[in-house]
Amino acid sequence: MLDRLQDTPPDALLALIAQFAADEREQKIDLGVGVYRTDDGDTPVFEAVKAAEQRLLDEQDSKSYLGPEGDRGFVHALMPIIFGADASMGGRIDGLQTPGGTGAVRLAIALAERAGVTRVHVGTPSWPNHIPIIEDVGLKAVTFSHASEDGSADLESLLDVIRQGKAGDAVLIHACCHNPTGIDYTPEQWEALADALADSPVLPIIDSAYQGLGEGMEEDAGGLRSVLAKVPYALIAYSCDKNFGLYRDRVGAFYIKVDEPAQMSAAMANAAALARANWSMPPDHGGAAVRIILRDEELREQWLAELDGMRKRLRWVRSHLAGADKKVDSVPLAHLEEQNGLFAMLPLDKAQIVRLREDHAVYMAGSGRINIAGLTKGNIDTFIAALADVAG
Ligand code: LMR
């Protein structure tokens, strides 16, 4: 029976982790999977997380099951950060904890399917796991272009999808720090998008995996909030993996916005049933640490200060790359300064990406995506020289 299984390649992005680890060259540069790194190239545990974990260790008196919704204190403590002061919109937003942002995306697509969605529109390029999740749930993924040639977001393509969409359609939108392009919608574009969605049957599914790593915590939530203010229904996938640095602890949340508070109980019951069928209950530890941070003023300030430092460093990398624009003829870099988050796309072909790896020990995704957080004061000029060598 199992001999019927066809071989399937490992996820190319995650395979880079092992390839990089196996490279013995000292000057190697990892621009692959999306994790934040300090200027020393490390991905340390946040100080605020360490303190919250210590408190958890001291105070936790049971590890008994919590149920498919996970830690509701965590889910609710996050809401004002994501949705603003009127976080529940009068009982029209609620959610549950998920294993990472990936679990939240999975739940969003599965709940959309239960609600009658058959097609999900995805702006491409997108996070390489979006389309596999949509197809694994059994829905059709339909693509449109996310970015225009001038490096801005291609709003018209998205508006076309929304205007022509029918009942049974959903559209997947990145809240901020677009993965992989770094190209976000402007506040004006978000308003236009919100107006279009308000007049359309297309269900918005918003993936927010990098809040705080773009312009700021509030700024990065602005677009999502503009949409939620206008649409009757929306699904939101949220990740704490990056902005709390909890990657392997898998900390995420899934939120549902309904039109009328009376619709919430059925929506949540379906989400909980899907969670139960998929993973039963989410892992607790990371979500509990986030809850402790968000409920304690001092830890919360400490966390925000750490996040500020990360964002400032990413800005420095972007401006340093932009300053090297003239050094690499065929790879424009100036626009990277205008973009947000961990990622940028470089117009390199497969052979150039292989040469970067083989000749210069620079590891990046085969799509041309780089994780700019892998660049430090110590290696950024080496990287620019390597880029000039393969693409100059
Ligand atoms: C990435 O895009 O590199 C991250 O979101 C990690 C992942 O799960 O792919």
Per-residue confidence (pLDDT) for residue 146, from 0 to 100: 98
Domain count, the chain: 2
- Residue at 276 is within a domain: yes
Same domain, 73 and 213: yes
Residue nearest to atom 4 of ligand 1 (CA): 34
Please give the single-letter amino acid code of residue 335.
H
- Residue at 379 is within a domain: yes
Same domain, 96 and 201: yes
- Residue at 4 is within a domain: no
CATH code of residue 330:
3.90.1150.10
Q: Mutate which of 33, 35, 105 to test ligand 1's pocket (most atoms within 8 Å of Cβ)?
A: 33
Is-contact 184 340, C-beta < 8 A? yes
Q: Domain boundary residue among 295, 329, 350?
A: 295
Same domain, 345 and 196: no
Same domain, 225 and 275: yes
- Residue at 246 is within a domain: yes
What percent of the chain has a predicted confidence (pLDDT) above 90?
95
Per-residue confidence (pLDDT) for residue 149, from 0 to 100: 84
Same domain, 153 and 35: no
Q: Domain boundary residue among 249, 272, 295?
A: 295
Same domain, 150 and 192: yes
What percent of the chain has a predicted confidence (pLDDT) above 70?
100
Same domain, 180 and 324: no
Give the helix ranges, DSSP H, for the chain: 12-22, 47-59, 72-83, 100-114, 130-137, 155-164, 187-198, 217-230, 264-278, 285-295, 297-323, 350-360, 380-391
Q: Domain boundary residue among 270, 295, 320?
A: 295
Q: Tell me the catalytic residues.
A: 127, 207, 209, 242
- For ligand 1, the distance from its centroid to the CA atom of residue 42, given in whole angstroms, is 17
Distances (CA, A) of 20 to 29, 211, 342, 366: 8, 27, 19, 14
Lining residues, ligand 1, CB within 6 Å: 13, 33-34, 127, 129, 179
Q: Across residues 100-116, what is the average pLDDT?
A: 98
Residue nearest to atom 5 of ligand 1 (CA): 34
- Residue at 54 is within a domain: no
Same domain, 257 and 378: no
- For ligand 1, the distance from its centroid to the CA atom of residue 348, given in whole angstroms, is 20
Question: Model confidence at 372, in pLDDT bands (50, 70, 90)?
Answer: very high
Is-contact 100 133, C-beta < 8 A? no
- Residue at 7 is within a domain: no
**Among 14-28, 131-145, 178-192, 237-251, which is the least confidently predicted range?**
14-28
Same domain, 327 and 272: no
Between 377 and 328, the more confident residue is 377
Q: Which of 296, 261, 270, 3 is nearest to 113 (CA)?
A: 270
Q: Across residues 301-319, what is the average pLDDT?
A: 98
Q: Mutate which of 36, 129, 210, 343 to test ligand 1's pocket (most atoms within 8 Å of Cβ)?
A: 129
Q: What is the pLDDT of residues 17-31, one digit of tens each?
A: 999 999 999 999 999
Structure tokens at 294: 């968000």
What is the model's pTM? 0.96
Same domain, 217 and 285: yes
Q: What is the pLDDT of residues 336-369, one digit of tens each?
A: 999 999 999 999 999 999 999 999 999 999 999 9
**Among 14-23, 156-165, 221-230, which is the least confidently predicted range?**
14-23
Residue nearest to atom 2 of ligand 1 (CA): 34
The atom number, within ligand 1, closest to the CA of 11 reads 9
Query: Count of CB atoms within 10 A of residue 318's CB?
Result: 22
CATH code of residue 100:
3.40.640.10
| SS3 category, 98 | strand
Structure tokens at 102: 């990936």
- For ligand 1, the distance from its centroid to the CA atom of residue 306, given in whole angstroms, is 21
Give the C-alpha separation, 164 to 263, whole Å: 27
Same domain, 210 and 317: no
- In the structure, how many helices (H) and strands (E) does the chain have? 13, 11
Give the helix ranges, DSSP H, for 45-154: 47-59, 72-83, 100-114, 130-137
Same domain, 274 and 323: no
**Among 52-56, 295-299, 326-330, which is the least confidently predicted range?**
326-330
ipTM over 0.90: yes
- Residue at 289 is within a domain: yes
- Above 80 in pLDDT, residue 381? yes
- Domain hosting 322: range is 12-45+309-391
Tell me the sheet residues that pair with 180.
Answer: none
